[in-house]
Chains A and B, each alone.
Chain A
Amino acid sequence: MDAVQISHVTKTFGSVTAVDDLSLTVPEGSVYGFIGPNGSGKTTTMRMISSIFYPDRGDIRVFGRQMLGARSELIGYLPEERGLYKKMAVQPMLEFYGELRSGRKVTAEVESWLKRLDLTKWASQKVQTLSKGMSQKVQFIATVVPAPKLLILDEPFSGLDPVSADTIQSAILDLRRGGVTVILSTHDMQVAENMCDYICMIFRGKKVLDGTLASIQDRYGNDTIRVAAEGGARFLDGLPDVERVRDLGQVQELRMARGCDPQQVLRTLIERTRVTSFSIMKPSLHDIFVRIAGPEAGEEQVA
């Protein structure tokens, strides 16, 4: 069964169409990533799956059931904006959130998660005394207690230091291994590439990409060269059949024109400088994102 089915959903706010005739399916047990620029409709879509917003048109089913505004203990939703009762102690607040979701006492689950995320000694402290990273871990626990089957995480790694991000990432993947379906949004393309089984890009309210990373990359073919050369990017200007050069510092990514011969690019490059690394590859998710949503976007938008 699909965890989520969205069929022709549209949501408008006044004259702005936030989500426009969106359809997608999230397979059960997968990690499904939403990418897209700010204001593209990711958060609105996740809020509609969580029943916080109702679609103007279309149908949303979670585990086969229409939600129609209901809250389900099967869904754990972590909003992008962090909202915790600052004057409450950590554990009572988590128990309140857990009980609100499940309708039962969740003390044991809360204690287990506090231990797992190394927050036990903060259990009786007020939320306002926690650091930002700890607050985000607490909010994550509030989302996963007691045991939702579908996790919806809006920018779960935003503002986290690498250690905290790793901790949360590891917890998410553990939950996925336990059968939990995860929908997350991220601006970090590396996270999307590494964590997500499926990636959906929403741009201006419309779905422009949907599938596995490999299937998305296959659409573009091996049109990217990653090169490392002495002198860096300054030797790459004016290479034949190269449409765009992306300077990453130590390496550069070249986007080749359709029908371009990479060997010709290599020969020209060797004539200019000493090449230490040269590989032909599919475009990165970052590059695909920029092709669709960057300033020079236009021709790349595919449904």
Chain B
Amino acid sequence: MHNRPHRILLIARRDYLATIRTKAFIIGLVVAPLLFGGGFLGVALMVNKPDIKERRIAIIDATGVAAPAVIQAAQEQNAKDLFDKTTRRQMQPRYVFEALPPAADPKRQRLELSERVRHERLFAFVEIGPTALQAPAPAAQDDTPDAKDAKPAPVAAYTNAGGFDETSRWLSNAVNEGIRRVRLTQLGVDQSRLSGALAEVKVDRFGLVSRDPKTGEIHEASKKNEVAEFAVPFGIMLLLGMIVMVGSSPMLSAVTEDKAQRLVEMLLGLATPFELMMGKVLGALGTSLTSSAFYIVGGTLALYGMGLSGMVPFAVFPWFYAYLIADVVFLCSFAAALGAGCGSPQDAQQLAILLLAPVMIPYFLITFVMQQPNGAISTAMSLFPPFTPMIMLLRQAMPGGGVPAWQPWVGLLGVLAFTLVMVTAAARIFRVAILLQGKTPKMADLVRWAVRG
């Protein structure tokens, strides 16, 4: 086909300028990170605004000796965790306990306490059974979930709070600690010596020691920064996904609107369908590169300003841009083809989910990949072209991630080949579908056009 680069560049320039001059683009530059990062920011803010309302907990102690120990352990734990050590702000609710002897009618006692919980005069109540102080016999220590569920636990906690309420875990620790102390006392063990012997040993994490190739001097390893280990790969993957989505998702509706407004036929008299599509794709790419430059430069300067220049992952920036270009070109071509096939903007909205998949699925896999960056599934997913940009970048950005050197190159080749195939298929669909009016092609039509043109 007789495609001329100047036409592609002209269309790209027009679309690029038309986009970046809009208020929506400028506002989007600021709003997009808030939308994408807002959830995490929200969680961070919520962490600083904990529920610190006093919580009253009743303990029914059938052993007669466990309750005071449990309350003491709980109060010690509460005193330790109540305030943030740096800010001195209260970060946990204050727990207040009341010990109750078992009543003659346990059911009625449980009902009365449940009513108090329902009326919010009590947060929860704990029933320590008469066998709680007995250490389980070794033969009976069957920890399988079925065996655990079959036998009633010696301690029961009753609460109206949700399943993930932090109090349950907190209370469980306090009850265990209290009962353990009573057991140790009954065994005659000196607890002050035992707690020292069982104290946790802190382990510092370091990188690797290296040798200066010029001087031969051995450089000590630097201590690992756990924040950087998480924030840098997570942040750069989040940024890539955000820029790709912001850059490519408008393409679908833009092409559909051009088609609906009959703008396309005029342009097709001046440029081939391929030139038109690629012009639009490159325009969107220009927009994405502009956004990325804004965020990368802004982020780098911010980290320098905060004295965290060591966290800037300069080594992955070239990969970031290679993946960004491939991802935007592939997704925009795909969007243009889908947009050309849509009969109306409503049709386009229904198909938008297809464009989100290559970005959203890797987002769902972040935790898994970060836990096992070189596991078989992480490796396979990062070599699957639609997911390569996001997942391979995440693996590469993890300090000491240990990604074999060949994998990013193979991944990039796969992405480029995949992008080429997608652009070719999209151009075929675009050429056939863009002038269709009044008919929405079926998926089988799109596949046929993609294969045969």
Contacts and interface: CB of A to CB of B under 8 A. Distances in A.
Interface of A: 47, 50-53, 68-71, 75-79, 81-88, 96-97, 99-101, 103, 139, 142-143, 152
Interface in B256-298: 258, 261-272, 275
Contacts of B6: 103
B56 interface: no
B266 A139 contact: yes
Nearest to A96: B14
Contact of B435 (A52, A88, A143): A52
A83 B271 contact: no
A84 B266 contact: yes
A82 B262 contact: yes
A152 B266 CA distance: 12
The prevalent SS among residues of A at the interface is: loop
A96 B16 CA distance: 13
A77 B269 contact: yes
Given A68-B2, A88-B18, A79 B266 contact: yes
Contacts of A76: 269
Contacts of A52: 265, 268-269, 435
Contacts of A96: 10, 14
A81 B262 contact: yes
Contact of B10 (A79, A99, A143): A99
Contact of A79 (B18, B258, B262, B271): B262
A52 to B, nearest CB: 5
B269 A50 contact: yes
Nearest to A85: B263
A143 B270 CA distance: 9
A86 B262 CA distance: 12
A87 B11 CA distance: 15
Contacts of A79: 262, 265-266, 269
B218 interface: no
B271 A71 contact: yes
Contacts of B7: 71, 100, 103
Given A77-B270, A79-B265, A85-B263, 10 more contacts: A47-B435, A71-B4, A71-B271, A79-B262, A79-B266, A83-B258, A84-B266, A88-B18, A100-B10, A139-B266
Nearest to A43: B265
Interface string B1-44: 11010110011001000100000000000000000000000000
Contacts of A84: 263, 266
A99 B10 CA distance: 8
Contact of A83 (B10, B263, B275): B263
A75 B269 contact: yes
A87 B270 CA distance: 20
A139 B267 CA distance: 11
B187 to A, nearest CB: 83
A75 B2 CA distance: 15
6 contacts: A68-B1, A77-B269, A88-B18, A100-B270, A103-B6, A142-B266
Nearest to B6: A103
Nearest to B22: A87
B272 A83 contact: no
Contacts of B271: 71, 100
A182 B309 CA distance: 67
- For the complex, would chain B's binding face be called helix, strand, loop or mixed by DSSP majority? helix
Nearest to A52: B268
B261 A83 contact: yes
A83 B262 contact: yes
Interface string B354-373: 00000000000000000000
B2 A83 contact: no
Contacts of A68: 1-2
A69 B1 contact: yes
A142 to B, nearest CB: 7
Contacts of B268: 50, 52
Contacts of B265: 52, 79, 81, 83
A47 B266 CA distance: 11
Contacts of B18: 85, 87-88
A252 to B, nearest CB: 40
Contacts of B10: 96, 99-100
A97 B267 CA distance: 8
Contacts of A71: 2, 4, 7, 269-272, 275
Contact of B2 (A69, A100, A139): A69
A273 to B, nearest CB: 51
B267 A83 contact: yes
B393 to A, nearest CB: 36
A192 B2 CA distance: 34
Contacts of A143: 269
B205 to A, nearest CB: 55
Contacts of A70: 1-2, 272
A79 B2 CA distance: 22
Contacts of A142: 266
A259 to B, nearest CB: 48
B272 A69 contact: yes
B232 to A, nearest CB: 40
Contacts of B263: 83-85
A52 B270 CA distance: 9
Contacts of A97: 266, 270
A134 B358 CA distance: 45
B453 to A, nearest CB: 10
A50 B268 CA distance: 9
A20 to B, nearest CB: 20
Q: A52, A77, A96 — which one has the most chain B CB atoms within 10 A of its CB?
A: A52
B449 to A, nearest CB: 12
Nearest to B270: A100
Contacts of A103: 4, 6-7
A79 B11 CA distance: 19
Nearest to B265: A79
Nearest to B7: A100
A139 B4 CA distance: 23
Nearest to A82: B262
Interface in B108-126: none
Nearest to A100: B270
A113 B163 CA distance: 75
B261 to A, nearest CB: 6
